[in-house]
Structure 1
Amino acid sequence: MLPPSTTRIGAAATLLSAAATSLAQQTVATGNGSWAVLTTQTQVVPIHMLHFPGDKLTFIERVHDLNPIPAGNNSATGMPYTMSGDGFTQEQYDSHNTGATSKWFHGNANVLQAGFLTDSAEFDVASATGKLIDRKFPVTKDLGKLEGYAFCSGHAQMADGNFVVVGGDQFWDHPYFGANRTLDGRRDIRVATPSNATSTAALTKVATIANLVVAYSNNGTAFNGPIDPTTGDTSYWGRWYPSVVTLPDERVLIMGGHSLYFDAGNPLANNPTWEIFDPVAKKSSDKTTNSALLASKFPLNLYPVTYVLPHSGDVWMHAYNDSVKINIASATETPHVAHDLTKENGLMGRNFPFVGSNFVPMMSYRDDYKMEAWFCGGVNSTGVDGKPVYRSDANRWYENCPNCPPTKRCNSLELEGTNPQWQGEDMPLARSQPTAINLPDGTILLVSGSGKGHQGGVFGLPVATNGVKAAVIFNPRIPIGAAGRWTVGSEALTERHYHNAATLLEDGTVVTGGGDSQNGADPLTVNPTDMTLDVYSPPYKSIANPPQLVLPLPAPSATYGQRIIVPFTSAVAQTISQVSIIRYGSGTHSTNLDQRHIELEIVKYATDKLLVKLPANANIAQPGNWMLWAVDSRGAVVSRAGTVNIRASNPGGDAAWNEADTVATPVFTQPGAANTQKSAAASVATGSLVAASIFALASLLV
């Protein structure tokens, strides 16, 4: 065995070598990021996007009308022979199905080739290939009204890493594959699972939402459920655009939606209630609880933004311009903070169809998990002349406004602070219906959206145009008004309007998709279904020699408060300024309630590994799969994230740590992205690293 002094000298040499390597690699993020095409063939339009470990994505689309016409029904010309109920006249159908370039209502070519009706597909990012998921939809009308497709659903990752998909849409007597089909997915509770070595991807109905709703009887009078699904009137039994959130106890909250679809003038179309789904029993609760907030905000109360609060474990919910806190155990709703839109110069409340983006910046143990809800972008109903913009059909506050300008306004609210108040701030670009994504360096990426109009419009009739392609990066660590707080990035390759979606991938890039002739850039509908995926590489991807994790992680599953080891492939651990976890998310319609970003405490440093502490409880980090990220002092993000499943029932026990491996804790100016803003900032971080290295060298040689 070498004498202690020799061991210390060797360790010191290793430490200095690591510091020298860091100096040699010292760069900062350059440029505005870059875009590339991942694929032009996703099999279905990625309107709903569910992200599984291994970068497997489940997509759900709108079924496209009209599909192939049965033989003998004008099949020679391909002309539709019946209206589908989407609101078009027969003349409109006819005009859009004439001419060599029109492809409207000809159906999804991939589905036609497969020979079975489906709304979903799995896409593997690594191979850039997709495969349709056979939903095995029933053929007969009686069965079809009991099960249907998942477009317009809400979804959330469950504790086991699979996704629950709730509610959906309906159609009746539409021609598909030689027969008229009826599908009604508004009541379905499904589980989405990824493919593996022995099975294909699936999206399977496992339960039905609570059968306690208001509905019309055949003579037009209202009555309360339950409803016999086979003989009763199911017109107003369903959830269309609901929100779904996994709770700390692993049950699933199903919130709101409309019972029919967007029938704004019909109060019976509202479903201002919530219920609880038990994923173990595969059963929803026998009762629903009314929400006064959702009832009061009809019809603009769809996809209400809903978060679990890190301290109380209560649920915070926002609809249109107001918010509440809900205690699930007592089934009570307490008013929180309203947003006074009269002070926002025409800003519309941010629910369908006037949404902006929603996000929560990274929460951290450093400030006891301060949680802020942010909304950016949306629709302004005041024109440049200062007068209200005319609404189509009527001037009612909820009517379509395809000529309304977007807003650059952002608003934020601290959710568990003392006397919280809504704050306002402008981002560089105005856009409606963008999507926001938490990035591993603590910044927020905003992509997609429209320069005029908003969400909505049936297939082929967009109410949004003028795509906003430029990415925008928000750094909440930089003070308001300071350089670098908002950065305009490079322009996307594709306009994405209504039904856009995006998610963070395991290599730190962001994939964007969606848009089904709602893109506003294709008025003749030459390309009615956008099957492309684009990938954005944020500026941190330009930093050379990023740190690399040893994968898979030593602890692929863990429990709350557990200390786990984060190993690296080289001696770079002392350059790591931030470790965090980001939840595998699911997004649709510019909304992602699943994503959540939490900084982890670094307890100890070694030359090539860290000991970090997971969040203390499920209020902070809901059970499920999380991506584990590390960021170095340059702002470089690990080349690929690790995956860890966190839940209370997982085996616990802190990782064994050899104290002889412990080295001095480095000091950084700030963790994460703040070090990437300027070369000077990076130099300060490098200086801190060198100082820490010298200090460690001195301690080792004593």
Structure 2
Amino acid sequence: MKIWVYLYASIATFLWVAISYVNCQAALYGQFDFIGYSGVSSMHATLSPMTYKVLFIERVELSTNVNLNGKPTYSVEFDLATSEIRPLTTLSNTFCSAGSYLPNGTVVNLAGAEAKQGVVQGFNQIRLFNPCNNGTCDWHNDVYTLLTNRWYPTVEQLSDGTLFIIGGSTSGVSVNNDTINEPTFETYPSITGTKPVPFQFLKDTLPHNLYPCVHLLPDGSLFILANTNATILDTTTWKIKSTLPKIPGPPRNYPLTGGCTLLPLDPSNNNQPEVLVCGGGNNNDSNTLKNVKGEFTCGRISPLSNNPTWEMESMPFSRVMPDITMLADGTVLILNGCNSGTAGFNKCSDPVLTPVLYNPKAPAGSRFTKMQSPSYIPRMYHSIALSVPSGQVLVSGSNPNNNPSGAGPFPTEFRVELYSPPYLFTGVPQPQIILAPDSLKYGQSFEIEYKAFSGTHKVTANIHNPGFVTHSTHMSQRLVWLEITSSDNGKLSLKAPANGAIAPPGPYLLRVLDNGVPSNSTWIMLSK
């Protein structure tokens, strides 16, 4: 009897120690949890505005596990609450496409690839999705098409909500070249005319200029980086406003793919913009893509400062194809990708399973933290990471195989994870938004009623567009801190951003943070 009592006590002690260790690890480094299956290879993803669902989009291929009306389909709606998927119509080949939101919350997915398996080409197609909560919404084609074929373009929202569409190639390719390069930009709806606008910058940055890094700056201009070159484009004259220094190190674009983000805008420093660019593939200035190693460095620049310069730092790990994802508290999560090789089919090895947290407010030299809570799922070429309303990050995808299969070292991946950052393991419950508006005008003063639990009453608030993500490119990703005009226990008086250059019109996640712990977000529509 005593032996069994001792045995049970020992097991209970072991379990208590194990659970305590797991909880301690999560509080320090966060935690990955498997939540379901995507049904399709989720190489493109975006939130469906005003819902708690995600749109997954893949390419036309043999790997899909989803059918609609007896035929394979390549896009689904993934419910964050239930992990259920709803098949959506495939109108054209969406491989290597791009996307964003319109001011009314419509999701736009444009460009793509060649006709395949009975599905028409998507190079110049514009596909629209009007979100709903009743399971009836689906993709439909616009009557308009792009002015030219585009594969691997980037989309960024402008200050009036118009979509800026730049670059790409006119067909699929391993490395871009001047025969198929598309060195132009256009807008949707068009405000730049009936022909694509030539852009010399995209000739000068060959061959590494696909999915260029583009961010709207608070003066209404655009920061654009391709290869190692960076420039600012005036969106009133459509001319180069200024040329910035080249980022040190190797090219940062496909197939030596790095990642970039606009760091959070904050009214307390007059919304001074900073851009962060990290990782990529270092080919040691070689003309070949053999023996490429991941790049350690990150560059940070204030493009509108009087003397823009790159501040260089090194990540704890080198990384090709990083996803640089904005977290709810304004820190940045760097995850996914590999340590050797390049973007492209079967060209990458040595997956980097451990995320890195970047704190933009910390002093240089102490901004990176290794999150010692790795995923066990390699996320290689065609992976995504997307912030979701709960304050977590949805992680999915990985399809590095030209002929998708369940075999080999990195099979086509359908498992979906949620990464929960350390701020969800503080022991303090997430604050709750009790009452908030569902629409805001620029410069509007408004109130939020909330319930907080930390006892510190250190409450902040922000709005967040997690963007449209594919191929390490987080299009229109943006987080803006809100000005607090007064704070009374349980009530915040806030001021909306002043204009569309700070936050373009459209849907945003609105949240409060209690001593750094974010609430579940609510959707708001921001407009003129």
Give TM-score, length-normalised by structure 2.
0.89
CA contact (8 A) 1:47 1:515 kept: yes
Matched position secondary structure for 1:31: helix
What amino acid maps onto 2:354 in structure 1? A
- Indicate the residue corresponding to 1:218 in structure 2: none
What is the number of equivalent residue pairs in this alignment? 504
Match of 2:182 among 271, 274, 279: 271
How far apart in 1 are the matches of 2:403 and 2:349? Answer: 4
How far apart in 1 are the matches of 2:423 and 2:255? Answer: 34
Pair 526,555 (structure 1): closer, same or farther in 2 beyond 3 Å:
same
Match of 1:313 among 220, 227, 230: 220
- Indicate the residue corresponding to 1:381 in structure 2: 283
What amino acid maps onto 1:258 in structure 2? S
Match of 1:500 among 378, 383, 387: 383
Matched position secondary structure for 1:494: coil
Shift of 1:265: 7.0
Match of 1:643 among 520, 523, 527: 523
2:82 is the counterpart of 1:127: yes
What amino acid maps onto 2:185 in structure 1? W
2:182 is the counterpart of 1:186: no
Pair 628,404 (structure 1): closer, same or farther in 2 beyond 3 Å:
same
2:438 is the counterpart of 1:556: yes
Shift of 1:576: 3.0
Greater fraction strand = 2
Shift of 1:631: 1.9
Match of 1:406 among 270, 294, 305: 294
CA contact (8 A) 2:428 2:453 kept: no
How far apart in 2 are the matches of 1:527 and 1:473? Answer: 25
- Indicate the residue corresponding to 1:578 in structure 2: 460
Q: How does 1:54-453 map to 2 (within 5 A)?
A: 54-65=51-62, 107-111=63-67, 115-135=70-90, 137=91, 148-172=92-116, 174=117, 181=118, 183-197=120-134, 199-210=136-147, 237-262=148-173, 264=175, 266-278=177-189, 285-310=193-218, 312-339=219-246, 341=248, 344=249, 348-382=250-284, 396=287, 399-401=288-290, 403-453=291-341
How far apart in 2 are the matches of 1:429 and 1:589? Answer: 19
CA contact (8 A) 1:243 1:255 kept: yes
State the Cα RMSD in Å: 2.6
- Indicate the residue corresponding to 1:588 in structure 2: 470
Q: Deviations over 1:171-226 (max 9, x none)?
A: 35x4xxxxxx252100101112334226233253442111xxxxxxxxxxxxxxxx
How far apart in 2 are the matches of 1:562 and 1:266? Answer: 48
Matched position secondary structure for 2:360: coil
Shift of 1:295: 1.6
Shift of 1:518: 4.2
Shift of 1:29: 8.1
What amino acid maps onto 2:240 in structure 1? E
Matched position secondary structure for 1:152: coil
Matched position secondary structure for 2:105: coil
Query: Which has the greater radius of gyration?
Result: 1
- Indicate the residue corresponding to 1:145 in structure 2: none
- Indicate the residue corresponding to 1:46 in structure 2: 42
Shift of 1:549: 2.6
Q: Deviations over 1:424-445 (max 9, x none)?
A: 1011111111101111212111
How far apart in 2 are the matches of 1:535 and 1:209? Answer: 35
Shift of 1:520: 13
What amino acid maps onto 1:338 in structure 2? P
Match of 2:424 among 527, 541, 558: 541
What amino acid maps onto 1:44 in structure 2? V
How far apart in 2 are the matches of 1:202 and 1:404? Answer: 39
Q: Deviations over 1:143-189 (max 9, x none)?
A: xxxxx2112111112211222112101135x4xxxxxx252100101
Q: Deviations over 1:225-274 (max 9, x none)?
A: xxxxxxxxxxxx50001111121112211111111222647523011111
How far apart in 1 are the matches of 2:373 and 2:453? Answer: 34
- Indicate the residue corresponding to 2:13 in structure 1: none
How far apart in 2 are the matches of 1:335 and 1:438? Answer: 27
CA contact (8 A) 2:264 2:330 kept: yes
How far apart in 1 are the matches of 2:391 and 2:39? Answer: 24
How far apart in 2 are the matches of 1:182 and 1:203? Answer: 14
2:8 is the counterpart of 1:30: no
How far apart in 2 are the matches of 1:632 and 1:423? Answer: 31
Pair 355,266 (structure 1): closer, same or farther in 2 beyond 3 Å:
closer
Matched position secondary structure for 1:131: strand
Shift of 1:550: 3.0
Matched position secondary structure for 2:281: coil
How far apart in 1 are the matches of 2:140 and 2:30? Answer: 35
Give TM-score, length-normalised by structure 1.
0.68
CA contact (8 A) 1:323 1:335 kept: no
Greater fraction helix = 1
2:513 is the counterpart of 1:628: no
More displaced stretch, 586-595 vs 561-570: 561-570
What amino acid maps onto 1:582 in structure 2? H
How far apart in 1 are the matches of 2:74 and 2:403? Answer: 23
CA contact (8 A) 1:116 1:134 kept: no
Pair 377,155 (structure 1): closer, same or farther in 2 beyond 3 Å:
same
How far apart in 1 are the matches of 2:196 and 2:102? Answer: 21
How far apart in 1 are the matches of 2:439 and 2:176? Answer: 49
- Indicate the residue corresponding to 2:500 in structure 1: 618
How far apart in 2 are the matches of 1:438 and 1:370? Answer: 17
Matched position secondary structure for 2:244: coil
Pair 642,268 (structure 1): closer, same or farther in 2 beyond 3 Å:
same
Shift of 1:574: 6.4
What amino acid maps onto 2:120 in structure 1? L
How far apart in 2 are the matches of 1:336 and 1:168? Answer: 30
Shift of 1:522: 8.4
Q: Deviations over 1:280-315 (max 9, x none)?
A: xxx9841221111112112321111111110x2111
